[in-house]
Chain A
Amino acid sequence: MTIFAEIVTITLRALLGRRRTLLMLLLAAIPIIVGLLVRTNARPGQVDIGAILDGIVIRVVLPLVALVFGTAALGSELEDGTAVHLLTKPIRRSTIVVAKIMVAGTLTAAMLVPSTVLAGVLIAQPGSDPLPTTFAIAVGVLVGSYLYAAIFVALSIVTSRGLLVGLGYALIWEGILAGLLPGSQVFSVREYVRGIAETLEPASIESIVGSTAVVYAAIALVAATVIASLRLAVYEVRGSD
């Protein structure tokens, strides 16, 4: 097994602790439940798949799940001291960071992409084709999972309050400021996710960044990974004295 696979395996096992996984599965179930409710209660001609998936998955569930996995993947190990065993091995810091982002992003995507697709299909009206919109948003969610994960992994190295700062970013920056200052949406993962969906299926969602979202997302992903690696390389472990 390679070093990378080794770190991936141990991180997966640590992240799939029973209570956290259950909680995240519950979050991932929310879009499906909403989909069921819409399917059973909505009147014909009323539903907009894009708007519903945007409101639930992109705005709420995706950042929350990614936040929990992203800050736990490395941050909780730095916090509880288990990371020391990893840090005192002859391993490139970027290897550790990429492995952690991979795991956090994959777990987030593994929970939310199926949930998005299922919700989209459930919401769809008889006779309409939900697949293009659902597929476009699911791809956006897939990319967003890794991007959020990278940012939250980096955040958990930079600050010991990664969860709090990440929550602040998702709620205040993306949730409130982006509405008040449209220019700030250029620095918003949510907007990139919407942009990617719009690029794939123009009828799905309207975004400000449009197809440049792909470029922004790529830059943000690389930047977060590089910053995380550089910061982990100079991460200090204080003792009790």
Chain B
Amino acid sequence: MSGAAPATRPPVAEPAPGVSMAPGTPDAALVLERVSRWYGNVVAVNDVSFALGPGITGLLGPNGAGKTTILHMLAGLLRPSAGKVSVGGQVAWHNPPMYRSVGLVPEREAVHAFLTGRAFVEMAARLQRLPDPRAAAARAIATVDLADAADRQVGTYSKGMRQRVKIAGALVHEPSILLLDEPFNGMDPRQRLHMIGLLRSMAEAGRAILFSSHILEEVERLADGVLVIHAGRLAASGDFREIRRLMTDRPHTFVVHSSDDRRLAAAFMAEPAVFGTELRDGRLTVQVAEFGGFTRAVARVARSVGVSLFEVAPTDDSLESVFAYLVSRR
């Protein structure tokens, strides 16, 4: 990671509702201004800026990209090494009163196992000094669909139930800002669907919600806007469809086995979608500019030169390579 790199603007897709790259946005609920965070020599977050308003934003990136570090800085649990983090117009670090309007659902499952779900949420309500903690807790528990299990000890809960009880604890005081770290971990499809509906309705009520995920489909189904993080940098931000397009239109590398690799390689070079071929150790690799264009052309080209195709396989379709590509696109 190049810590000395100048401040660069990440590639910006069309701004989605709620996502803006300009930290000066007046009503932005969550703002990072040129924020970096390092642990000793390791840079976890590198010069990241964004401003988010109401709505749901997904913080997308592979594991270890810096998502939790960003969420914890927003939640006031980590001091930024450089830059400014503000939440609801207040500085996030070293500012406990901020938690009146902020709820955090941490990734770790830690909840005292001896508490019942209801006791945990009521405790959160009392620590928030709510006038009627019991009623507020009952509401929050109903919201996350946990009423049936509320009087069981958290120690007996499944992973998904623990996730939901933490969410109930985080939204019991109806915060205007909700931060969730990998909220869908451990949930079954039905619970996921319920949680998506829940977060959507909370966003429609005007809340700013930021959740992290390493799963593309989760973000796609839920988020209005998306921030893509890779290796501590903001790789892309904006509307999800736009980012999806960037992701599919990126260069790909294919490995091709055929009856005559050499002839096929020569024929590929005439294709506009192909910008490089390499024949080494009996393996033909083809660099293509665009996924779709090449997959449509490959069979036609092979047929035109009379070569039989045995195998066409993309080599780098991992999410990791997608993120790496987005970061390198500057």
Report which A residues bind B (CB closer than 8 A).
1, 3, 6-7, 10, 13-14, 17, 80-82, 84-93, 233-234, 236-241
CB distance from A14 to the nearest CB of B (A): 6
Q: How far is the CA of A1 from the CA of B134 in the complex (A)?
A: 12
Judged by a CB distance under 8 angstroms, whether B283 is at the interface is no
CB distance from B86 to the nearest CB of A (A): 16
Contact between B124 and A85 (Cβ–Cβ < 8 Å)?
yes
Contact between B67 and A3 (Cβ–Cβ < 8 Å)?
no
Q: A10-B115, A89-B127, A90-B97 are in contact. List 14 more A-B contacts (CB 8 A).
A: A7-B127, A13-B114, A82-B112, A89-B96, A89-B99, A90-B96, A90-B100, A92-B96, A234-B79, A238-B78, A239-B106, A241-B65, A241-B66, A241-B69
Contact between B123 and A239 (Cβ–Cβ < 8 Å)?
no
Judged by a CB distance under 8 angstroms, whether B71 is at the interface is yes
Query: A91: which B residues are within 8 A, CB to CB?
Result: 96, 127
CB distance from B165 to the nearest CB of A (A): 11
Q: How far is the CA of A108 from the CA of B309 in the complex (A)?
A: 78
User: How many A-B contacts are there with CB distance less than 8 Å?
Assistant: 96
Contact with A along B86-98 (1 / 0, CB 8 A): 0000000010111
Query: B170: which A residues are within 8 A, CB to CB?
Result: 88
Q: How far is the CA of A45 from the CA of B122 in the complex (A)?
A: 60
Q: How far is the CA of A238 from the CA of B72 in the complex (A)?
A: 7
Report which B residues bind A (CB closer than 8 A).
39, 44, 63-69, 71-72, 75-79, 94, 96-100, 102-104, 106-112, 114-115, 120, 123-124, 126-129, 169-170, 181
CB distance from B151 to the nearest CB of A (A): 16
Contact between A236 and B127 (Cβ–Cβ < 8 Å)?
no
Contact between A90 and B68 (Cβ–Cβ < 8 Å)?
no
Q: How far is the CA of A238 from the CA of B102 in the complex (A)?
A: 18
23 inter-chain pairs at a CB distance below 8 angstroms, sorted by A residue, are A6-B127, A7-B127, A10-B115, A10-B123, A13-B112, A14-B112, A17-B114, A80-B110, A81-B109, A84-B108, A84-B110, A85-B124, A87-B77, A89-B96, A90-B98, A90-B128, A91-B127, A234-B79, A236-B77, A236-B79, A237-B72, A241-B63, A241-B67
CB distance from B159 to the nearest CB of A (A): 15
Query: Which listed residue (A6, A81, A234, A239) contacts B126, Cβ 8 A?
Result: A6
Q: How far is the CA of A17 from the CA of B100 in the complex (A)?
A: 31
Contact between B64 and A241 (Cβ–Cβ < 8 Å)?
yes
Contact between B78 and A237 (Cβ–Cβ < 8 Å)?
yes
Contact between B71 and A239 (Cβ–Cβ < 8 Å)?
yes
Q: How far is the CA of A218 from the CA of B209 in the complex (A)?
A: 47
Query: A86: which B residues are within 8 A, CB to CB?
Result: 127
Q: How far is the CA of A234 from the CA of B93 in the complex (A)?
A: 8
Contact between A84 and B112 (Cβ–Cβ < 8 Å)?
no
User: A3, A81, A84 — which one has the most chain B CB atoms within 10 A of its CB?
Assistant: A84
CB distance from A13 to the nearest CB of B (A): 6
Q: Provided the pairs A84-B104, A236-B79, A237-B72 are in contact, do residues A89 and B128 lie with their beta carbons within 8 angstroms?
A: yes
CB distance from B157 to the nearest CB of A (A): 14
Contact between A236 and B96 (Cβ–Cβ < 8 Å)?
no
Contact between B68 and A240 (Cβ–Cβ < 8 Å)?
yes
CB distance from B186 to the nearest CB of A (A): 15
Q: How far is the CA of A1 from the CA of B67 in the complex (A)?
A: 37
CB distance from B329 to the nearest CB of A (A): 22
Residue of B nearest to A86 (CB): B127
Q: How far is the CA of A93 from the CA of B79 in the complex (A)?
A: 16
CB distance from A17 to the nearest CB of B (A): 8
Query: Which listed residue (B67, B71, B108) contacts A81, Cβ 8 A?
Result: B108
Contact between B114 and A14 (Cβ–Cβ < 8 Å)?
yes
Query: B107: which A residues are within 8 A, CB to CB?
Result: 239-240
Q: How far is the CA of A86 from the CA of B72 in the complex (A)?
A: 14
Residue of A nearest to B62 (CB): A241
Q: How far is the CA of A82 from the CA of B94 in the complex (A)?
A: 19
Contact between A89 and B124 (Cβ–Cβ < 8 Å)?
yes
Query: Which listed residue (B44, B76, B94, B123) contacts A88, Cβ 8 A?
Result: B76
Q: How far is the CA of A140 from the CA of B97 in the complex (A)?
A: 39
Residue of B nearest to A237 (CB): B77
Residue of A nearest to B127 (CB): A89
CB distance from B136 to the nearest CB of A (A): 14
